Amino acid sequence: MKKITTNKQTVIESVAKMVADKNAVRSFLKGKASIESLKEKGIKLANPL
């Protein structure tokens, strides 16, 4: 089995981004931010259904 070594800072940054992305999308859904602003942040919305 491969052992995955992860930098703690990478984990913190990734988790922090996850939360920041959510807050940005909440603003978008409320009409307070544009879809372009999400794209600038690298946030990709999808229809996975």
Partner 1 sequence: MPIPYNYYFNEDSQFFYFSTKNVIEYRIAFIQDETFSAVSGFEINNVFQIVIEKVTDEIERFDAKVSSTIQAIITAFFINSQNAMIYVCDDKDKKGIKRFNTFNRWYKNSGLKTAIIKKDNIITCFSNDQNFIIYSSLFISS
Name the residues that contact partner 1, by CB under 8 A: 4, 6, 10-19, 21-23, 25-26, 28-31, 35, 43-49
d(CA 2, CA 29): 40
Which residue number, 1 or 18, has a Cβ lying nearer to partner 1?
A: 18
Tell me how far, at minimum, the Cβ of 48 lies from partner 1, in Å.
5
Closest to 24 (Cα-Cα) out of 43, 9, 11: 43
Q: Do 11 and 29 contact (CB within 8 A), yes or no?
A: no
Q: How far is the CB of 31 from partner 1 (least distance, A)?
A: 7
